[in-house]
Amino acid sequence: MDADDETSGPMIDEIYANGGGGDDGEKRSRRAIMSGDQLDIEAYAALYSGRTKIMRLLFIADKMSNAPTQLEALRMAYDEIKKGENTQLFREVVQKIDGRLGPNYGMDAAWCDAVDRRAEQKKEKLENELNAYRTNLIKESIRMGYNDFGDFYYAHGQLGEAFKNYVRTRDYCTTSKHIIHMCMSAILVSIEMGQFPHVTSYVSKAEQAPEALDAITVAKLRCAAGLANLEAKKYKLAARKFLETGPELGLHYNEVIAQQDVATYGGLCALATFDRAELKAMVYFPLSTCLSRLPLENIFILISFLPFPSHYASCLEYLGNLKANLLLDIHLHDHVETLYDQIRHKALIQYTHPFVSVDLNMMANAFKTTVAGLEKELEALITDNQIQLIVGGTCCTLQARIDSHNKILYARHADQRNATFQRVLETGREFDRDVRSMLLRSNLIKHDFNLRALRKL
């Protein structure tokens, strides 16, 4: 290989200073919930609370092919549901278990009947109270009445009705804090329903009242916006939102997302979409204190290592080991393949960047793949105009060429010096043309050669 520019040696020292190297016993001693090994369901579920904990367990049970792990997830979901009032979801879980966990995890008709009776009584009470508030025209009481109805429907799994009642409180909000509360409730339900356009809308509404936002609420809104952008496949925006989430989040939003999720989602999206400068600016420094509190920091260590050829194989291999567990994440599973493809493509492009020519055998060895497979990947990147290449130092209509016989990739990047001169010359020509046009127009006006419109008779 012929080097085109220098290897960034000082950056390596910087990376080790930011946690990318060295032996840190404390970091290694931390328990990894997501690793190359099987997912620790009990530790994973402990990160969450409320409905999202149940839905994540059920999602794992649906996706998991390992029967013992599947039953463990269903058992934990069963226990968690019985702490609440959602009898419909309880019946669905019992049906999924199908008697495989013994008589203690079967249908509890008495519990369902008792919960349903209490629900009817509570609903009747809430309706009477709300009617009384409407009669008396007390705005704050009406707002609280609709909010209580929203909480009631949410607890019983009727998310559509919960959303309607939370939104109805908007007409009776009298302070900015009331609006923020309404928006956060609507966001919570929208995330559970998978209605992420609503999430984006109510995040924007909440941000319009900055005087009522504290640090924790700001962190929650960034997480919600990150999830909405992730679902919309706007990975770069999602990465920014997740990486902007401060350590104030803590455990305050575990009914939606955990700190570990912020690190995982933000790390993968950043790896897939950020360039090297953005990774340094957005990841290395702003999150250095936050990362020290997160159990899953290997994702960000990968960010530190990714730009250097000697680490490509180990980084991609580690990501490959994480993939099975990431596919069990309720929000990330649909995006894992796309993000992984983008990360690998970025690594391939970055590898070729410093060189005029690249030996495909050496490159295949660095990425732990075959030369034939590597050629196909590079062909796709060249076709998409993502790698700038020429043959034998002569310019071609194509920006990339591969010598399949000798297994060499010829690479050369644009001459920035020449490109700058060309832009300056073009700017000068445009300026000269504009000045000549203005002088011509001025002389035409001066000598009264301008064309006047004929008046209509």
pLDDT value, residue 162: 95
Nearest one of 201, 423, 407, 233 to 331, comparing CA atoms = 233
What is the model's pLDDT at position 130? 93
In this predicted structure, the answer to whether residue 93 has a pLDDT above a threshold of 80 is yes
* Burial 20-32, CB ≥16 within 10 A → b, else e: beeeeeeeeeeeb
Q: What is the pLDDT of residue 351?
A: 81
Domain with CATH 1.25.40.570 in the chain: 214-354
Q: Which of 268-272, 349-353, 360-364 has the lowest mean pLDDT?
A: 349-353
pLDDT at residue number 223: 95
The maximal CA–CA distance of the chain, rounded, in angstroms, is: 104
Q: What is the pLDDT of residue 3?
A: 42
Mean pLDDT on 161-170: 95
CATH 1.25.40.570 applies to domain 214-354: yes
| Mean of pLDDT values over 79-101 | 93
Mean pLDDT of 69-79: 94
Residues 367-386, mean pLDDT to the nearest whole number? 83
pLDDT of residue 161: 95
- Specify the range with the lowest mean pLDDT, choosing from 208-217, 318-327, 393-402: 393-402
Would you place residue 37 in the very low, low, confident or very high pLDDT band (cuts 50, 70, 90)?
low
What CATH architecture applies to the domain 355-430?
Answer: Orthogonal Bundle (1.10)
User: How confident is the model at residue 12, as a pLDDT?
Assistant: 32
If we measure between CA atoms, which residue out of 252, 187, 249 comes closest to residue 49? 252
pLDDT at 411: 64
Closest CA to 353 of 306, 421, 298: 306
Q: What is the pLDDT of residue 38?
A: 72
Q: What is the mean pLDDT of residues 99-126?
A: 93
- Lowest mean pLDDT of 27-41, 112-126, 188-202, name the range: 27-41
Amino acid at 435: V
Q: What is the pLDDT of residue 412?
A: 55
pLDDT averaged over every residue in the chain: 81
Q: Which residues contact 412 (CB under 8 A, 6 or more apart)?
A: 4, 356, 388, 389, 390, 393
Residues 6+ apart with CB under 8 A from 244: 222, 286
Span(s) in the chain for CATH 1.10.10: 355-430
Query: Which pLDDT band holds residue 167 (cuts at 50, 70, 90)?
Result: very high
Residue 114 and residue 33: Cα distance in Å, rounded? Answer: 37
